[in-house]
Amino acid sequence: MTITTTIAHLLPALLAQAQTSILPQGADYMRILPELVLSIFGMLIMVVDPLLDEDSSHNTLGTIALIGTLAGLASTFWMAQYPGTAFWNMVRVEGFSIFFHYLVVAIAAVAILSSFEYLRVQRIRAGEYYGLILFGTVGMCLMSSAIELVLIFIALEISSISTYVLAGLRRREASSSESSLKYFLLGSFATAFFLYGVALMFGATGSTNIDAISGVLRSGNVPVLAYVATALMFVGLGFKVASAPFHVWTPDVYEGAPAPVVGLMSTGPKAAAFAVLLRVMFEANAPGRFWLIWVSAALSMTLGNVGALVQDNVKRLLAYSSIAHAGYLLVAFAAQPELGTSAAMFYTAAYAAMNIGAFAVVSHFANAGEKYVTLEDYAGLGRRSPMLAATFTFFLMSLIGIPITGGFFAKFYVLSAALKSNLVGLTIILVLNSALGAYYYLRIIVMMYMREPRGEVPVTRVPAAVALAIAVCVLATLYLGVVPGPVLDYSAQSAHQLLSDTAAPRVATASTAAGP
Amino acid sequence: MESLSPFILSLVTFIPAGGGLLILLIPRRDRDIKLFAFVISILAFVASLHLPVHLHREAGLFKYEIDRVWIASPNIHYHMGIDGISVWLVVLTTFLTPLCVLISWTSIHERVKEFFILLLILETALIGVFTSLDLFLFYFFWEATLIPMALLIGMYGHGRRVYAAVKYFLFTMIGSMFMLAAILWLYAKTGSFDFVVIQNAIRSGSVPGFETASLWLFLGFFIAFAVKVPLFPLHTWLPDAHVEAPTAGSVLLAGVLLKMGTYGLLRFDVGLFPDQARRNAPWIMVLALIGIIYGALVSLVQPNMKKLIAYSSVSHLGFVVLGIFSFTAAGLNGAVFVMLAHGVATGGLFMLAGILYERRHTYEIAEFGGLATPMPKYATFFLVTVLASVGLPLLNGFIGEFLVLSGAFQARPIYGILAATGVIWSACYLLWMYQRVFFGKVTHEVNNALPDLNLREKVALSPIAVAALVMGVAPLVWLSAIDPAVQRYALAPFTQLASKMVGQ
């Protein structure tokens, strides 16, 4: 079954759902407002780029992109005033999608902030870089609000293709081209799996709408094809979130790609892919998911942590750490739906804050040509640049899961969701793994504080934009670590809303229901 | 003073960390920083004296309780309170910290600011461990002690400091992950982190699945605490950490950090799982005995003064564990008293060793000899502290060890007999070390020129000597608070259980 025939089957169904009104209404546009705003700013960058000479373009385009993301955040607020579905039941605005919109756009904003200096130092052209970040963000946003598998696929491609290109932007480095090509080839392969899964799911349930699928799958009569479809979709999404055994691309790609892009790509698309995974697994009530996730979570945690133990390159080390964290997150997917969803939502937010912060430090420190990315280079940083070292230590502590950091509560909620669902085996694996994980993060801290500095590594002043990016991440991590209540309550609420609604698949009232 | 009561605990806990943050604002003038840190730590000490003075001793209940919601979901409370067991540990912490500041006055000369910030944050975390009544809050402070201590060892320690710091960190971290899992299990089943609520739920038997899980929960907590104590065979991080740590780090490590383990055993392992604790007492007591004797024998052959004191801690902490798991009134009272006495005496020994290190930059016993001649005052302080540690009557070590031994005899005579050899061994290794360092002729020429104690060092050491003496002469001041708490706390559940069993 090819994509065209899928769509050909789909169209009449879609049109039938939209009987009440053929044309989209104002509220429909409001429900994709952030996507629209980000696209407009992305295009604006493309238009402005040729008018500027290369040297002066960095700051101007960066500022436009930053304003774009801020406008994106503001428009998410507006979008939140119009809950409901739009465009013939393809997009739904609800607590869940609002949460991920805020998260993804904020991630993009921080990534842009930490790129100002980096692009200048590495001499990367700013136009395509910022444009691609914004377009990628559009894809990620859409992934979180789409409730139609084909639209999810399209959104996934928008975000993936942007990141494929971004990974290769250090044109002078062979490793960057390798990274881009590897990511592209393997990534296309994985999305093909996802698409195949979508096709089979359509075959099994007769629909590509998550609500409709959920209705069929909950009715008790689950066709065998649905199991295969779940597995195939999991392969595709497992690749995107870098969970084992679909993780092998991660270290190479992260090593070669520009550091701020790695910061973005290890948090933004990952968060969006987790959002899709949550929808597919929990909202659509995918059959046979438990063992699939169980095995993948256990493997990711173990392989990620063991792999990280022996790394000497900080970017590779953080790549393996991100595999391990994907594993911790997947533990939540094996828990009871509501507990698991809210724990996973909190985890993606906390992980985003600490990881993108860590990469902001790494990208500042790497210097021209990303020369200084090995553990040895970090020796004595505590003495030479106390603030940079202190913030990096803070992010690493959060990654370890020490209290008063967001990383602690993230792990904590996942653990308690797992224990409440009686997942003793996974809990034990998680506990042992986090102990193992402490070691390699600690190696970086030890390097920074307990070794003598090496003279030849330059320590440059932290420019204001990077400082702001780091400060935002520190504050976010600290906030999630000291008062996690509001975010957790919000995610619990939206998880409840997400899952209670699906018990009874709703009718297409979307287009008729206007906003307040 | 009554109006202070709900806030005094928070005040005592957070004065040091608050002061530490204020140090951030002080310009990098080392002298100001030291003075400020000293004033803050004295302030915390004075504030903490309020606690035992106004503690109602008879009931043995928690006092100065404060219970506010910290995070609504999950149900985490800012719940603090102390009883006769923890009150003295809080005072011990605030008592030792100013002395640590004094003893580090000249021995720390670079990154002074960071040092005192870390020290004060460590103090807050330590006090927090003893005052928390919410399991989550407890875990939070427990983990919070980890980073400053590891940094103190790793940044300011001696030769193999990085190895020691990492080893310390990993041992503790791995142990406490098991505790976290156990805490989360309890939360998942009871919906609360509150110590008192969980304790009542367990006692009334309303926790589903508790029967099958209780052994694992007990062990989860036990591993975390046993690493900290350290109980044989989990003690291997301790000698490394002690030898490499700066003096102030060693003092707090031996004086207070190890007590976190024994305190945890008493408060949480015994408090939450009374019947598992009793069921597992035999093998735990055997481990404690091995620790007592093994620690003493290893001490005997140490050529390094600091390592000798470190291993002596393994031996002394064995007494504490033995006392707790003897489940007799004498044993439990003695265990808590040994914690305090060991904190004072061993803290003092580490300070003395540090003073010598500052002068000669070595801990090797063979490098010294006949020091009593050039340093008579130093020798006197050293003698008092050694005798306190050995357990000479009228000094503080005696009371606790005597009580523990009599408790162990009641539990099982052979344990008492074996443990008593530990007292003899400790006399051997400590007095022998004293003899080699201080008596006879001066064997190394350099040692003749060593200056005796200066005023600052005398000020730092006198409180130790005074405390050792007062605790030895008037132990009832301490025991009158400890006893009701221990009776109600660790023994009462058993008598209830026992009567229930007999009743069936």
Confidence of residue A270 (pLDDT cuts 50, 70, 90): very high
Domain extent for A470: 27-501
Residue A92 CA neighbour count, 13 Å, CB half: 23
Confidence of residue A514 (pLDDT cuts 50, 70, 90): very low
Angle at B319 between CA B315 and CA B325, to 5 degrees: 135
Confidence of residue A506 (pLDDT cuts 50, 70, 90): very low
pLDDT of residue A19: 53
pLDDT of residue B26: 78
What is the helix, strand, coil percentage profile of chain A, to 5?
75, 0, 20
Residue among B147, B170, B188 whose CB faces A416 most closely: B188
Residue among B111, B143, B166 whose CB faces A402 most closely: B143
Q: Average of pLDDT values for A271-283? A: 90
pLDDT of residue B503: 44
pLDDT digits (tens, 9 = 90+) for A96-114: 999 999 999 999 999 999 9
- The runs of H, that is alpha helices, within B54-160 are 86-103, 112-131, 135-144, 146-156
Nearest chain A CA: its distance from B466 CA (Å): 38
Give A451's contacts in chain B (Cβ within 8 Å): 162
Residue among B139, B147, B181 whose CB faces A431 most closely: B181
Q: Which amino acid is at A476?
A: A
**Roughly what angle, to the nearest 10 degrees, separates helices A337-366 and A314-334?**
170
For chain A, the residues whose C-beta falls within 8 A of a C-beta of chain B are 382-383, 386, 397, 400, 402-404, 408, 412-413, 415-416, 419-420, 427-428, 431-432, 434-435, 438-439, 442, 446, 449-451, 483-485, 488-489, 492
Give A484's contacts in chain B (Cβ within 8 Å): 71
Extract the tokens encoding A14: 């879609």
pLDDT of residue B6: 74
Find residue B69's DSSP bridge partners: B77
Q: Is A22 helix (H, G, I), strand (E, B) or coil?
A: coil
For chain B, the residues whose C-beta falls within 8 A of a C-beta of chain A are 71-74, 111, 114, 139-140, 143-144, 146-147, 151, 154-155, 161-162, 165-166, 169-170, 173-174, 177-178, 180-181, 184-185, 187-188
Cα gap B454→B449, rounded to integer Å: 14
Confidence of residue A11 (pLDDT cuts 50, 70, 90): low
Q: Which residue has the higher pLDDT, B161 or A233?
A: A233
Q: What total of structural domains would you count in chain A?
A: 1
Nearest chain B CA: its distance from A88 CA (Å): 37
pLDDT of residue A8: 67
Q: Is residue A509 in some structural domain?
A: no
Nearest chain A CA: its distance from B162 CA (Å): 6
Q: Cβ(B85)–Cβ(B485) under 8 Å?
A: yes
Residue among A402, A415, A438 whose CB faces B170 most closely: A438
Q: Cβ(B349)–Cβ(B309) under 8 Å?
A: yes
Categorise residue B282: left if φ over 0, alpha if ψ from -120 to 50, beta otherwise.
alpha
Find residue A92's DSSP bridge partners: A85
Give B184's contacts in chain A (Cβ within 8 Å): 412, 415-416, 419, 427
pLDDT-above-70 percentage for chain A: 92
Cα gap B477→B486, rounded to integer Å: 15
Give B143's contacts in chain A (Cβ within 8 Å): 402-403, 408
Q: Cβ(A421)–Cβ(A334) under 8 Å?
A: yes
Q: Are the Cβ atoms of A449 and B155 closer than 8 angstroms?
A: yes
pLDDT of residue B87: 87
Q: Are the Cβ atoms of B111 and A397 closer than 8 angstroms?
A: no
Mutate to test the interface with A, among B173, B192, B215, B219 (most CBs of A within 10 A): B173
Nearest chain A CA: its distance from B68 CA (Å): 14
Of A244-258, A469-483, B13-27, B63-77, give the lowest mean pLDDT range.
B63-77
Give B220's contacts in chain A (Cβ within 8 Å): none
Tokens 């607020």 sit on residue: A77
pLDDT of residue A10: 65
pLDDT of residue A510: 38
Mutate to test the interface with B, among A412, A429, A439, A452 (most CBs of B within 10 A): A412
Q: Are the Cβ atoms of A434 and B185 closer than 8 angstroms?
A: no
Of A37-51, A196-210, A459-473, B201-215, give the lowest mean pLDDT range.
B201-215
Residue among A419, A434, A449 whose CB faces B151 most closely: A449
Nearest chain B CA: its distance from A418 CA (Å): 9
Among chain B residues, the shortest Cα distance to A443 is held by B166
Q: Are the Cβ atoms of A438 and B187 closer than 8 angstroms?
A: no
B105 — phi, psi (to 5°)? -50, -50
Residue among B111, B154, B185 whose CB faces A419 most closely: B185
pLDDT-above-90 percentage for chain A: 46
Nearest chain A CA: its distance from B18 CA (Å): 16
Q: What total of structural domains would you count in chain B?
A: 1
Among chain B residues, the shortest Cα distance to A485 is held by B71
Residue among B146, B170, B188 whose CB faces A419 most closely: B188
pLDDT of residue A504: 44
pTM score: 0.83
pLDDT of residue A101: 94
Cα gap B361→B355, rounded to integer Å: 10
Task: Select from B20, B35, B245 the least CA-distant residue to B153.
Answer: B245
Give B188's contacts in chain A (Cβ within 8 Å): 416, 419-420
pLDDT digits (tens, 9 = 90+) for A68-79: 999 999 999 999
Residue among B140, B155, B177 whose CB faces A450 most closely: B155
Q: Are the Cβ atoms of B73 and A488 closer than 8 angstroms?
A: yes
Q: Is B131 helix (H, G, I), strand (E, B) or coil?
A: helix
pLDDT of residue A112: 93
Q: Are the Cβ atoms of B188 and A446 closer than 8 angstroms?
A: no
- Average pLDDT of each block of 10 consecutive residues along chain B (504 residues)? 68 87 80 86 88 70 79 80 86 90 84 86 91 89 87 83 85 86 86 85 80 86 90 85 87 89 89 84 90 90 89 90 88 89 91 88 84 85 89 84 88 87 87 87 80 86 89 84 78 55 44
pLDDT of residue A222: 84
Among chain B residues, the shortest Cα distance to A427 is held by B181
pLDDT of residue A63: 92
Residue among A428, A450, A485 whose CB faces B73 most closely: A485
**Which residues 6+ apart lie within 8 Å of B51 measured at CB?**
B8, B9, B12, B64, B82, B87, B90, B91
pLDDT digits (tens, 9 = 90+) for B21-74: 888 887 777 788 888 888 989 988 988 888 888 776 666 577 787 888 887 767
Cα gap A259→A366, rounded to integer Å: 8
Complex ipTM, two decimals?
A: 0.76
Q: Is A258 helix (H, G, I), strand (E, B) or coil?
A: coil
Extract the tokens encoding B178: 């098991």
pLDDT at A337 over 50: yes
Of A22-31, A195-204, A437-446, B376-385, give the lowest mean pLDDT range.
A22-31
Q: Is residue A22 in some structural domain?
A: no
Q: Cβ(B167)–Cβ(B241) under 8 Å?
A: yes
Q: Are the Cβ atoms of A492 and B73 closer than 8 angstroms?
A: yes
Nearest chain B CA: its distance from A6 CA (Å): 44
Extract the tokens encoding A460: 């440059």
Domain extent for B123: 2-503
Extract the tokens encoding A307: 């792999």
Cα gap A263→A351, rounded to integer Å: 11
Residue among B140, B161, B165 whose CB faces A403 most closely: B140
Residue A297 CA neighbour count, 13 Å, CB half: 26
Q: Are the Cβ atoms of B180 and A383 closer than 8 angstroms?
A: no
